Amino acid sequence: MTTTIDYYELLECERGADDATIKSSYRKLAMKYHPDRNSGCKDSEAKFKAVSEAYDVLKDPQKRAAYDRYGHAAFQGQGGGGGPQDFSGFSDIFESVFGEFMGGGGGRGRAQPRRGADLRYDMEITLEDAFHGKSTEITVDVSAQCDTCEGSGAKPGTSVRTCQTCAGHGKVRAQQGFFVVERACPVCQGSGQVIADPCSDCRGDGRVEKTKTLTVNVPAGVDEGTRVRLSGEGEAGPRGAPAGDLYIFLHVARHSLFEREGTTLFARAPISFTTAALGGSLTIPGLDGRAHEIRIPAGIQSGKQLRQRGAGMPVLQGRGSGDLVVQIEVETPTKLSPRQKELLQAFRETETGDECPDSQGFFAKLKQAIGG
């Protein structure tokens, strides 16, 4: 392979090109000259290796600075500019060019510990609990760190060793033509470590099943579906890896008096028709422990809503509270004494129609509709 051709010329880039331009040009040329796309053409394979060698130098800031200053002489005695002899076949070339499209990030670090799974716990609370907040305890069965081996998975007095098959990477590679297939290491199962003498209690997993009692603090103002996160209280990771989180999903039970929409509380209040006609008041016991007096204006109709400011639900992690809305339902009496019937009959005999203008207007329209 010729090593005297200018690397920028090989990549068809200006000497001052930025990293993105160099990378883009390399990808295009690598696809153009790849041997699989050129039926084994020797010239294409040589060109492919040349542009790969050029990119290996220019993508590295230190190598590029040395090349810009000294040219190819900067790498004499080092096997060229980090050319094909520095790669495992074409595997590293493909990883650096197409790794981000294949789910990789370029380079092979050691296997990272696998975090434990997050867990879910459903808890029902009352509307009063949601109003005031509460602290309660729950019991969960969960995979926790083994106390005997402190999560390492190895028998006390022994240690975990780096897997020799994958050198701690957790993956092994197999060359198939110009492509490289990467799989989890069959010896360490992808962990990058092996245990010669596993812990007898957890059998090398570093985790055991435990029943844990946890304290859950429910803040005031929570609503249906609110989540409370207990960090690190989920499933323990294998062999000392970080634990996941436990999510508490809150469900608010139905209340006998109130319904809720956000921070607003709704209550339905049936009143007598005499109270509706003459006016009055009613008292609603609030979730805040206070008695809220609702003034009823004379002549109120069914469906009318009366609002009590600040008597609703507290704002979650904020200041203030919503409102209490009382919807009036005028109830028609069904059991009347003879005296009450007598009084109502006397009242009806004095009616002029002006007492109920909506009714009067309705019947006037009805008469018009049927021709007088």
For residue 86, what is the domain's CATH number?
Answer: 1.10.287.110
87 and 134 fall within a common domain: no
Put the strands of the sheet holding 264-272 in their side by side order.
Answer: 258-261, 264-272, 324-331, 305-308
Answer whether 12's CB lies under 8 Å from 25's CB: yes
Residue 65 in tokens: 């600075």
Structural domain including 285 reads: 258-331
Same-domain pairing of 86 and 14: yes
Give domain status of residue 185, yes or no.
no
pLDDT < 50: residue spans in the chain = 1-3, 78-107
Q: Residue 227 in 3-state DSSP? A: strand
CATH of the domain at 291: 2.60.260.20
356 is in an annotated binding site: no
Task: Give the integer Cα–Cα distance in Å for 82 and 76.
Answer: 11
* Residue 202 marked in a binding site: yes
Q: Give the pLDDT confidence of 43-101 residue by residue, as tens digits.
A: 888 888 888 888 888 988 888 888 887 777 766 654 444 443 343 434 444 444 444 44
Annotated binding residue 13: no
Are 265 and 316 within one domain? yes
3-state class of 224 per DSSP? coil
Name residue 55's amino acid. Y
Residues 226 and 282 in one domain: no
Cα–Cα separations (whole angstroms), residue 83 to 45, 65, 89, 184: 14, 17, 11, 28
Note whether residue 312 is domain-resident: yes
Whether residue 161 lies inside any domain: the answer is no
Average pLDDT, the chain: 83
Q: What is the pTM assigned to this prediction?
A: 0.59
Q: Same structural domain for residues 222 and 280?
A: no
Is 41 assigned to a binding site? no
Chain segment 169-212, per-residue pLDDT in tens: 888 887 665 566 788 888 877 778 888 888 888 888 888 999 99
Question: Could you give the CA distance from residue 17 to residue 351 in angstroms, rounded to a whole number?
Answer: 96
The total of structural domains in the chain comes to 4
Q: Are residues 273 and 347 in the same domain?
A: no
109 lies in some domain:
no
Whether 249 and 136 share a structural domain:
yes
Counting runs of H as helices and runs of E as strands, what totals does the chain give?
A: 9, 15
Q: What are the DSSP calls for 254-282, one per residue?
A: P-SSEEEETTEEEEEEEEEHHHHHH-EEE
Tell me whether residue 191 is in a domain: no
Is residue 175 a part of any domain in this protein? no
Alpha-carbon distances of 75 from 9, 87, 89, 152, 256, rounded to whole Å: 18, 16, 21, 45, 83
CB-based burial label for 43 (10 Å; 0-12, 13-18, 19+): exposed
Of the candidates 292, 246, 223, the one whose C-alpha atom is nearest the C-alpha of residue 138 is 246
Residues 26 and 140 in one domain: no
